[in-house]
Structure 1
Amino acid sequence: MTDTVTNTVTDVISGRTTQVIAAEINMIKYQAERVYLAAAVEIGRRLTEAKALLKYGEWGKWLKESVSYSQSTADRFMKVFREYGSKLLDASDSNSDYAPVRNLTYSQAVILLGVPEEGREQFIIDMDIEGMTNQELRKAVNERTQVRQEKDQALQENADLQKTVEDQSGIITELTRELANLKVQFENVKTSKVELDKTARQLKDSLESLQQSSSAKGYERMKANFINTSLKVKANHIAFLCENLDKTIKEVKHELLQIAPNDKETYITYKNKVYDLLKVWLKDETWSRQARPGGDTQ
Structure 2
Amino acid sequence: MDLELSSRTPQIIAAEINSIKEQTGKILLQSAVEIGRRLTEAKAMVDHGEWQKWLESSVSYSQSTANKLMRVFAEYGSKLTAGHQGGANSESITSLSYTQAVILLGVPEEERESFIVENDVASLSTRELQQVVQEREPAPNDTITQLTAERDDLRKQASSLKAAGRTNEATIKTLQEQLEAAKKGDASAGKIAALEKELKTARAKVSANKIIFHFDSLAKSFNELLKELAKLAPADPETHQKYKGEINEFIGKMREML
| TM-score, structure 1 normalization | 0.47
Among 69, 76, 95, the residue aligned to 1:103: 95
Structure 2 counterpart of 1:31: 23
Q: Return closer, same or farther for 1:24/1:150 CA change in 2, 3 Å cut-off.
A: same
Task: Confirm or deny that 1:50 pairs with 2:42.
Answer: yes
Structure 2 counterpart of 1:41: 33
Aligned-partner residue type, residue 91 of structure 2: A
Structure 2 counterpart of 1:133: 125
Q: C-alpha distance in 1, partners of 2:146/2:70?
A: 32
Q: Return closer, same or farther for 1:151/1:12 CA change in 2, 3 Å cut-off.
A: farther
Q: Return closer, same or farther for 1:11/1:17 CA change in 2, 3 Å cut-off.
A: farther
Structure 2 counterpart of 1:17: 9
Q: CA deviation at 1:149?
A: 7.9
Task: Confirm or deny that 1:148 pairs with 2:142.
Answer: no
Task: Confirm or deny that 1:61 pairs with 2:49.
Answer: no
Aligned-partner residue type, residue 54 of structure 2: W
Q: C-alpha distance in 2, partners of 1:97/1:55?
A: 38
**Once the two structures are superposed, what CA deviation does each residue of 1:231-278 show, in whole Å capped at 9, x if it has no partner?**
xxxxxxxxxxxxxxxxxxxxxxxxxxxxxxxxxxxxxxxxxxxxxxxx
Q: CA deviation at 1:51?
A: 0.6
Aligned residue pairs total 153
Aligned residue runs from structure 1 range 194-273, under 5 A: none
Give identity over the alignment, percent. Answer: 50
Aligned-partner residue type, residue 98 of structure 2: Y
Q: Which has the higher contact order (CA 8 A, sep 6+)?
A: 2
3-state DSSP class of the match of 1:111? helix
Q: C-alpha distance in 1, partners of 2:88/2:145?
A: 34
Q: Larger C-alpha radius of gyration, 1 or 2?
A: 1
Q: Return closer, same or farther for 1:60/1:13 CA change in 2, 3 Å cut-off.
A: closer
The answer for unaligned runs of 5 or more in structure 2 is 156-258
3-state DSSP class of the match of 2:17? helix
Structure 1 counterpart of 2:75: 83
The answer for unaligned runs of 5 or more in structure 1 is 1-6, 167-298
Q: C-alpha distance in 2, partners of 1:126/1:16?
A: 35
3-state DSSP class of the match of 1:148? coil
User: Alignment RMSD, CA only?
Assistant: 2.9
Structure 1 counterpart of 2:187: none
Among 106, 127, 134, the residue aligned to 1:114: 106
Q: CA deviation at 1:14?
A: 3.1
3-state DSSP class of the match of 1:53? coil
Q: Return closer, same or farther for 1:127/1:50 CA change in 2, 3 Å cut-off.
A: same
8 A Cα contact 1:51 1:59, kept in partner:
yes
8 A Cα contact 1:11 1:17, kept in partner:
no
8 A Cα contact 1:107 1:134, kept in partner:
yes
